[in-house]
Each structure stands twice: as structure tokens, then as C-alpha cells.
Amino acid sequence: MIPNLFYYPNRPMLIPPDPSNPLNPAPTYINSLEASLFNRAEFKWNGDNTTVRTDDLSFWNRQGERLSYTPHPDMLKELKQFPKESLLNGELMHRHTKATKDLLILHCVMGWKGNLLLGKNWGHSRQLLEACNWLPLTCGTQLSYDRHVVLAQYFQSGYWNLFQMACRSDDSIEGIVLKNPQGKLIHSTSPLKDVPWMLKIRKPCKKYSF
């Protein structure tokens, strides 16, 4: 049986404030990241970061604890389409959102067909999911689909506009996440160690300032 692989996502990124408006981030800085190694952007969905084992269809959090969540029967049917002995990583939209329940938004895979992907890059992991041609993509900020398992859409330009969409959204979106396709997948057991394939930019809220 393939062992579980967990990681602590990195801390929300502190981005430079706009000199003319110190309570808001600088648009030029966010747009400049399009030319960096982190040249993929996704919405940061307000769910539980979850690893799903496809051998027994169990759900685990990033601390290695099994979730008490009971999947919707149709979600289980969709998960059975993935190869056995794989570890799917995504955001479970259920506990934190009022209007959205029983939706799993996948980001990547941490293990595939019995092999852990340690040392492989995030882009390779993502391509394995893209090859599942039955798996639909998310569409913008929409969260209403006729399936319970979907693949996170990514963007390669317009980061500032994407961030503004996140800021105008409801409780389902926390900000944006930037991905480095060449970043290596690692097993990080410490919340103080950032993962090399991801940067998070959280939208302003009462608990967060620039």
C-alpha cells in the first residue's frame, strides 16, 4: 500500500503595499510575478486541504489525520475513476462554505499508481490530472457543477485582475495561489518550511494586513 504523503503549505505571502494606498497591495508587484518561476495562478479556495487515497477512498488532512467527512455517493463514484494506489491533493469545499458542499477541487497528485512523486515537479503532477480527460476544469469563481470532483483552472496572465476577483468574492475564495511548474514536490512535516512549488497571496481581511 502506498504510504501517505503530507505537506504543510507555505504561509500567506506578505506583498508590498501600494505607496499611495498602504492598506492595499501594489498592482505592479503582483503583475510582475507573471514573469517569475511562479507563472501559474489559481484561486485560493476556502476549503480543507485534503489528500484522498484512491485505494480505500479515505480523506486525510495535512497533519496526517483522517477526516470524519462522509463523501457524497456520486463523489465516490467519480473518485473510483482514478488509478488505484494514488494520492490526490485538493481542496474539500464543505465545512467552511455555506452555499457549497461536497465539492473536491484537485490541485495535483502526490502519488500515482503506487509511486510517491517525491522529487518530481509540480508541473508533472498536474499533467497526470490533465490526462484524465473526463475531469472538468473549474470556471472562474463558479462553484456549481454537475460533478463533485473537478480540476482547478489556472491562469498565466492578469494576476492583478484575478486578485481583484478574489477580493470581490464571497467566503468561498481566500485569495490567489501561484504555482511554480518546476518546483519539486517534498514531504514537509514542519509549518515553518515553505514548499517550493507554491506562493499564497491572501485577500485583505480583518485578520490580515499588508
CATH number at residue 190: 3.30.470.30
Residue 115 lies in a domain: yes
Write down the residue that cell numbers 509540480 correspond to. Answer: 122
Residue 62 lies in a domain: yes
Structure confidence at residue 105 (pLDDT): 97
Domain that holds residue 130: 17-202
The per-type count for the chain, helices as H runs and strands as E runs, is 4, 11
Whether the pLDDT of residue 111 is over 60: the answer is yes
How many CB atoms lie under 10 A from the CB of residue 144?
A: 8
Q: Taking a C-beta distance cutoff of 8 angstroms, is the pair 162, 44 a contact?
A: no
Spatial distance between the Cα atoms of 164 and 168, rounded to a whole number of angstroms = 6
Whether the pLDDT of residue 43 is over 60: the answer is yes
Residue 49 lies in a domain: yes
Q: Taking a C-beta distance cutoff of 8 angstroms, is the pair 42, 198 a contact?
A: no
Compute the half-sphere exposure of residue 158: CA atoms within 13 Å on the CB side of its CA: 10
Environment class of residue 90 by beta-carbon count within 10 Å: exposed (0-12), middle (13-18) or buried (19+)? buried
44: left (phi over 0), alpha (psi -120 to 50) or beta: beta
| Number of domains within the chain | 1
Structure confidence at residue 72 (pLDDT): 96
Q: Averaged over 46-57, what is the pLDDT?
A: 94
Residue 60 lies in a domain: yes
Residue 4 lies in a domain: no
Whether the pLDDT of residue 208 is over 60: the answer is no
Q: Averaged over 10-18, what is the pLDDT?
A: 70
Q: How far apart are the first and last CA of the chain?
A: 45
Residue 133 lies in a domain: yes
Q: Which helix (H) or strand (E) holds 198?
A: strand 198-202
Whether the pLDDT of residue 101 is over 90: the answer is yes
Q: Which helix (H) or strand (E) holds 163?
A: helix 159-168
C-alpha cell at 17: 503595499
Q: Averaged over 141-150, what is the pLDDT?
A: 92
Cα-based angle 160, 161, 166 (whole degrees, multiple of 5): 95
Residue 46 lies in a domain: yes
Residue 10 lies in a domain: no
